[in-house]
Structure formats: structure tokens, C-alpha cells
Amino acid sequence: MPAIPSHVPEPSRTDPALIRNFCIIAHIDHGKSTLADRMLQLTGVVEQRQMRAQYLDRMDIERERGITIKSQAVRLPWAPSHDEGTTHILNMIDTPGHVDFTYEVSRSLAACEGTILLVDAAQGIEAQTLANLYLAMENDLTIIPVLNKIDLPAAQPEKFAEELANLVGCDPDDVLKVSAKTGLGVDALLDKVVADIPAPVGVKDAPARAMIFDSVYDSYRGVVTYVRVIDGQLNKRERIRMMSTGATHELLEIGTNSPEMLAADGLGVGEVGYLITGVKDVRQSKVGDTVTSQHKGAEEALGGYKDPRPMVFSGLYPLDGSDYPLLREALDKLQLNDAALVYEPETSAALGFGFRVGFLGLLHLDVIRERLEREFNLDLIATAPNVVYRVVMEDGSEHTVTNPSEFPEGKIDEVYEPVVRATILAPTEFIGAIMELCQTRRGTLLGMDYLSEDRVEIRYTLPLAEIVFDFFDQLKSKTRGYASLDYEPTGEQTSSLVKVDILLHGDKVDAFSAITHKDQAYAYGVRLVAKLKELIPRQAFEVPVQAAIGSRVIARETIRAIRKDVLAKCYGGDISRKRKLLEKQKEGKKRMKMVGSVEVPQEAFIAVLSSDDSAGSGKGKK
């Protein structure tokens, strides 16, 4: 192991020529966190005995599911073997690895001049990695292709080096081969970062402009904002201004991470570090925004800022209605750390009080729901996820529909639904199965490329609504788990969409309304009506269960009236038993939700709405 570098340049006084800003693009499980761990050790910022696996992943859920949700930046001193006298500063920016966080990834990439493309030597590149690679290429980043896990018996370094070389446009011999686990080749990789990645370029004397690439809520310190300084310098104790909102804050602390927070005098051109202003809510410190000095600040913000836009909505309802205030409190707390999380109160005739919650995507939904249940001990019913529709009426008025039950009545001119460009990577033997799946999900083939002899990249345009409903699980099962998927929103399209309502005894049940393509409406109606017939107990009267589009009934079942509900015998004077039976039945009745005059067991809602067995599962790991 090389000696710990001496004469380490200090923040705010570091020559940009010595700085290298880079990130690591990798698929979940391909070893990014382990590689980061090795770099922390090799550069001496974390001592051996303090080392723990996946040092940078803070949240339990991240560590457990092996995914990184929040990115961070670490300042690593490194004296390369080809220039041992000069200690360079390497800022490693850890990027989120999932499709839902594309925007955050893009901001992390914008903070870098180069990226390590890390690929498992036994698995090859995956769709999400490819998507992020394209993103890095669009940002003109220098790409260092690296194969990891070359110590694994199943590794095929030659094959996948070829694949990477084709994608990046280099020679297969230029692909570095490392084992993050053993540390093999990691020092060479750090050397290559210094050698290949350009130093940042900025205007030293210009008004300060720093780009926020992450923002994290810490219960002790408030919001910690991570920035990359583009021009000028930010200094401690000055007042700063957020350019998107104009809000000003006092800079309570400025510093770098090594990897713990370390206060500094300031940050200069090309440097990466954190700011603390005392704000309590990450929405006041938005990813992509530009930070400048309040006094003689910049006029023009850096480009590329976007407000986070939720793509998928789901209604979250506490199973026990009295938990509603608790759910609100929990969402409030999570929002402190998640600018993309939006919600507003919603009332469902069937489910009571809850929230309509907007998410960046399915993983985001999954993570939030899991955190609500685990960290806040809530039992929730989550309605089936849906996308946002834009409905234009014949009179020209327009509605944005985030909840199917709000789909407007009356004369509709056009309905627009969001579409995505989906990229699927899979072994060639599954091409047929994948195309068939995409076809039934109203997909349009955009193109297909062979990554290597036996792996193919298939691109489709698909309605997002088709993806949020169990697409990923279907894809996995049809390809025996070999396919990987990435998608990015590309706009909207008009479609023949209809709202299917479910009526119980003539009353519409808002929670069961769904928007589907008209060709799928019938199947949806039949399926749901049959399921409800099975789940709802017989009532004192006959209950028709209908699926309808507007006033047109498309499916119907009947729950026959119960004819006998009486115990004939008296149990030999054991009236206590009879009374206790009554008490038990009353308890059971309490767990029923009244929908009009029909008693519907909680379980029926969960079974029908739950995305557990459709869209939600399996998103975390791969």
C-alpha cells in the first residue's frame, strides 16, 4: 500500500489543476460500494480498524437492499505512482444507481469531469448502467471502463472487456481489471483517474457559482447541501443565495468530507464539498440549483435545473384510521430528506383518510412505503400505482388526473398519458419473449442492437402506465431473471383510455376505479369483479358487483344474499359463550369498511389494491 500522501492541499487553497472529480457508474451489486470502500482505505482517509462494509451508505435500507439512494462526495488525497511528489485531490461522487433517480444521477454527472464505468466481470453491463453511461457521454465525461470481480470463477473478463470496448470506443486492452473485494488493481485505477480525467476548469475571479448535486437532511445539523464549485469561491460565514428561489441563507459551515464532515475556510474553483445553512427542509436546497454569494453574486444560474416531477402516484391509507395523524407526521419527516416526495390529503369513501403520494418511480414508491412501515411502524394499504393523465375536454378545458377516481365525466376530446423510452438488455435467446411482452403492453419497437454475439439491447417506447403494472416482474419471469430494464420519460401520447368503475350494489367504489386502455378494460373489469365476488362475504341482501365504463356495464357478478345467520342451539345454558361469540362478531364487523350499505372486509381492499404481487416486488435488488 502506498504511503499516505504528505503536503495535502487544503480546501479553498487547492489548485484546480490538481483536482479530479469523478463518479462511479455501476449496476446494483456490481461492487460500487465495495470499490469506494477500497479507495477510502488506499488513500488513508479511513483507517483500517474503522472500516466497515459499504462505509458510505448511511441508511439501513440502503445497506440491506444493497442500493444507494443518496449520493455523497468524498475528498481523497492521492499521489499517483507516476508523479509521487504531487498529491492530487480526488473527489469521488457517489451516484444513485437506479432508474428512478435519473435526474439526481444527471446532476452528479454534471459535477464531474470523468466517470469510472464499473461492470461485473461475470455479468456484463446492465440496462441501467448503459443508460447512465449514455448520460455520461452526453455530458462529455471521460469514461474509464473497469471490470470488477475478476477474482470470481465465473468471471469472463475477455468477453465483457470486448463488450465495454465496443460501447465506450476503446481498445479491449484499455479496460482495467480489478477486484474491489481484494483491492487488486485499485491503486492502478486511482492512478488512471489522475492521468485520464481532465482537471476542472472555471473562472477564479468570477462571482461564485456552485451547483447543488445532493441535499441530505441530518437530524442534528439540518440540511447538508453538497455542491461542486464551478466559478469563483464560497467562503465561510458569508450569506449565500439560492438562485431558483432567491432565498438567502447564512453559511453556518462549509467544508469537505473525508469521509466525515470537516469544516474548512471555503471552497474554490473545481472543489466539491458541503454547505450547512440551518434550513430544515431539503426542498429549500434543491438538487440542480445554483448557489451564489448574496453580495455581488452571479446573475445567471448554471443550466440544467429541473424541479423534480413525480411520475407515479399511489394512495397511502393507514389500515387503522386512527393512525392518520401518524402517517402525516411520518410523511412530513421523510419529505425533509426527499425533495421528490409530494403528497396531499385525500379522502376515499372506501378507505377513509389518507394521502395521494407522488413518486419518481416504482423503486421510490417501494422505498418510501417500506420506510413508513418499518421506521414509523405503520400498517398501510397502498392503492395500485398509477401515472398522471392529462385530459382535454371538448370545450377546451384541461384536467390533470393523478387519481383515477378524479377522471372527468362528460365529453372528452383527448387523453394524454406519459410514455417512456425503455431499454432492455438480455441474452439473445429471449428476444422473442421480450418483444411479445412489449407488444402486449402497447409498446413500439424503436430499435435493437447486439452488444456482443449473445447479448442484445432492445429499445421500446412504452406507456409508463404499462410499466408500473407488473411489467418488471413479467420481464424477469419471461427471461429467467436475465433481462435488465431501464426507462426514461420521453413525453406523452394520446391514447384510447377509459376509466373503469367498480360498483357495489350500485355504489361506485372510488378506490377500485382504474384507467386502462379500452382494449384492456373488459379483462380488467371481469378480473376485478370476480375477485371481489370471492372476497366479499354474503350480505343480508343480494349485492350486484359491476364493472362499468361510464354508464355502460361491462362485467357483472352477483353476491347472493345470505339466508341463514343464526345459531340454532343455545349451548346448554352457556350464555357467556354466546355473548362472547357476539362480541367477537362485533369486532369482525368493526374491521369491515362500509361501502354504501355493503360491508367490505379490509382484506378485500388489500387483496385487490395491493401492488405487492404485481408491481412492487423485486425492484430493490436487480
320 is annotated as contributing to ligand binding:
no
CA–CA gap between residue 421 and residue 477 (Å, rounded)? 21
- Is 149 annotated in a binding site? The answer is yes
Contacts 24+ apart (CB under 8 A), 39-42: 39/76, 39/90, 39/92, 39/186, 39/190, 40/74, 40/76, 40/259, 41/183, 42/1, 42/2, 42/183, 42/186, 42/187, 42/190
Q: Of 575, 591, 594, 612, which lies in the binding site for other proteins, with binding defined by CB under 8 A?
A: 575
Q: Does 580 bind other proteins (CB under 8 A)?
A: yes
Strand arrangement of the beta sheet that strand 261-263 belongs to: 248-250, 239-242, 290-293, 209-218, 222-231, 272-276, 253-257, 261-263
Interface pick for other proteins out of 392, 578, 596, 614 (rule CB under 8 A): 578
594: contact with other proteins by CB under 8 A: no
User: Smaller CB distance to other proteins: residue 390 or 505?
Assistant: 505
29 is in an annotated binding site: yes
Query: 523 to 542, contacts with other proteins by CB under 8 A?
Result: 540-541
The answer to whether residue 582 forms part of the interface with other proteins (CB under 8 A) is yes
- Crossing angle of the two packed helices 186-196 and 32-42, in degrees rounded to 10: 90
Q: Which region holds residue 21: left if phi is over 0, alpha if psi is between -120 and 50, else beta?
A: beta
Q: Which window, 99-107, 222-230, 361-369, 580-588, contacts other proteins (CB under 8 A)? A: 580-588
**At its nearest, how many Å lie between other proteins and the CB of residue 446?**
56
Tell me which stretch binds other proteins (CB under 8 A): 145-153, 227-235, 380-388, 561-569: 561-569
Does residue 587 touch other proteins according to CB under 8 A? no
Give the nearer residue to other proteins in terms of CB position, either 551 or 576. Answer: 576
Of 447 and 572, the one with the shorter C-beta distance to other proteins is: 572
Q: In the complex with other proteins, which residue's Cβ is closer, 250 or 583?
A: 583
Task: Find residue 393's DSSP bridge partners.
Answer: 412
Shortest Å, Cβ 495 to other proteins: 45
Q: Which span sits near other proteins by CB under 8 A: 105-113, 323-331, 468-476, 583-591?
A: 583-591
Is 31 within any annotated ligand binding site?
A: yes
Is residue 591 a contact point for other proteins (CB under 8 A)? no
Which one of the spans 16-24, 347-355, 429-437, 582-590 is the region binding other proteins (CB under 8 A)? Answer: 582-590
Q: Pick from 280, 295, 589, 591: which binds other proteins (CB under 8 A)?
A: 589
Residue 477, C-beta contacts closer than 8 angstroms, at least 6 positions apart: none
Asked if 558 touches other proteins (CB under 8 A), the answer is no
Half-sphere exposure of 382 (CA within 13 A, CB side): 26
Does 590 engage in binding with other proteins (CB under 8 A)? no
Ligand-binding annotation for 479, yes or no, is no
Q: How far is the CB of 535 from other proteins (least distance, A)?
A: 18
Q: How far is the CB of 578 from other proteins (least distance, A)?
A: 6
> How many Cβ atoms sit within 10 Å of the Cβ of residue 201?
12
User: φ, ψ for residue 547 (rounded to 5)?
Assistant: -110, 135
Nearest Cα residue to 25 out of 151, 145, 111: 145
Q: Is 564 in the site for other proteins (CB under 8 A)?
A: yes
Alpha carbon of residue 66 to chain centroid: 14
Of 97-105, 209-217, 221-229, 579-587, which segment contacts other proteins by CB under 8 A? 579-587
Of the two residues 203 and 570, which places its CB atom closer to other proteins in the complex? 570
Give the C-alpha separation, 313 to 611, whole Å. 12
Kind plus residue range of the DSSP H or E element containing 588:
helix 575-590
* Smallest gap from residue 506 Cβ to other proteins (A): 16
**3-state secondary structure at position 332:** helix
For residue 466, count other CB atoms closer than 10 A to its CB.
Answer: 22
Pick from 84, 574, 612, 613 the residue near other proteins by CB under 8 A: 574
Site for other proteins (CB under 8 A): how many residues?
A: 26
From candidates 52, 82, 552, 563, binder to other proteins by CB under 8 A: 563
Q: Does 505 interact with other proteins (rule: CB under 8 A)?
A: no
In whole angstroms, how close is the CB of 586 to other proteins at the nearest point? 6
Q: Name all contacts of 161-169 with Cβ < 8 Å and 24+ positions apart.
A: 162/452, 163/124, 163/125, 163/451, 163/452, 163/455, 164/117, 164/119, 164/125, 166/451, 166/452, 167/125, 167/130, 167/133, 167/451, 168/117, 168/133, 168/143
585 binds other proteins (CB under 8 A): yes
- Contact between 579 and other proteins (CB under 8 A)? yes
DSSP E strand stretches across 94-160 = 114-120, 142-148
Q: 148 among the known binding-site residues?
A: yes
Least distance from other proteins to the Cβ atom of residue 559, Å:
13
Q: Is 30 annotated as a binding residue?
A: yes
If you write DSSP's letter for every residue of 219-277 in order, what string do you get? TTTEEEEEEEEEES-EETT-EEEETTT--EEE--EEEEESSSEEE-SEE-TT-EEEEE-
258 marked as part of a ligand binding site? no
562 sits near other proteins (criterion: CB under 8 A): yes
Q: Kindly give the pairing relationship between strand 352-359 and strand 342-348.
A: antiparallel
Closest to other proteins by CB, 411 vs 564, is: 564
Q: Where does this chain touch other proteins (CB under 8 A) — which range of 139-147, 187-195, 584-592, 603-611?
A: 584-592
Give the Å distances, CA to CA, from 368 to 6, 115, 318, 333, 616: 44, 29, 14, 11, 12
Q: What is the rounded CA–CA span in Å between residue 361 and residue 383?
A: 15
Select 450 or 571, whichever has its Cβ closest to other proteins: 571
Q: Give ∠ CA 446-447-453 in degrees, rounded to 5.
A: 155
Among 394, 518, 571, 621, contact with other proteins (rule: CB under 8 A): 571
Crossing angle of the two packed helices 127-138 and 102-110, in degrees rounded to 10: 40
Site for other proteins contains 568 (CB under 8 A): yes
CA distance to 6, 19, 110, per residue, from 199 (Å): 21, 6, 14
Q: Least distance from C-beta 589 to other proteins, angstroms?
A: 6
Strand partners, 117: 25, 145
Query: Applying CB under 8 A, which part among 383-391, 427-435, 442-450, 570-578 lies near other proteins?
Result: 570-578
Span interacting with other proteins, options 62-70, 270-278, 406-414, 559-567, rule CB under 8 A? 559-567
Q: Which of 204, 577, 591, 621 binds other proteins (CB under 8 A)?
A: 577
Residues that constitute the known binding site for GTP: 29-34, 148-151
Residues that constitute the known binding site: 29-34, 148-151
Applying CB under 8 A, the residues found at the interface with other proteins are 540-541, 560, 562-580, 582, 585-586, 589
